[in-house]
Amino acid sequence: MIERALEMAVLAPNSSNTQTWDFYWVRTPEKKAALVKACFSQSAARTAADLVVVVASPTQWRRSQPYLIDWVRSVRAPKSVILYYEKLIPAMYRWGFLNSIGYVKLIGLTVAGLFRPVPRGPHTRRDIQEVSIKSAALAAENFVLAITAQGYATCMMEGLTSGG
């Protein structure tokens, strides 16, 4: 049941199909106990038969990029699509040391936007984190809908972060 729901989760729409999220199905008693504690020992976590964690990971576009490039080439996508994944995604999803690239992008595209249409983001690390969080939320929604469609219930909890 969880495996079927995870299969549905990965079909969720996400930014440029970069899948900047990870799902962790927590099964060992030790890890479940630690996770329950991280969830402030809420009864939904304590009594759950299974715990699945969804993590937004803004740097994971790097993991997806080679597969996306291979795929668009294999289906003989237009050159603009290949360039999108080879050039534009890395340019848009990098933020640089202390957001240096992000701020250069922000300033440059803001000025260029005075004269022509330009991408409005993401620019900075925070922008890219937001895109990743939105994509993770869509995948999580697909997951819980797939669980519900199989006749089971879920309880989503949010807000835990590593600060990274």
Q: How far is CA 13 from the centre of its chain?
A: 10
- Given pLDDT bands bounded at 50, 70 and 90, which one contains residue 162? low
What is the reported pLDDT for 50? 92
Q: 43-87, pLDDT tens digit by residue?
A: 999 999 999 999 999 999 999 999 999 999 999 999 999 999 999
What is the reported pLDDT for 158? 72
Q: Quick check: 164 pLDDT over 60?
A: no
Class of domain 2-58+133-149: alpha beta
Cα distances from 129 to residues 32, 38, 87, 88, 106, in angstroms, run 26, 22, 20, 17, 15
Tokens 């079927």: give the residue. 4
What is the reported pLDDT for 121? 87
Reported as half-sphere exposure (CB side, CA atoms, 13 A), residue 85 has a value of: 21
Please state the rounded mean pLDDT for residues 96-117.
95
**Domain locations in the chain?**
2-58+133-149, 61-127
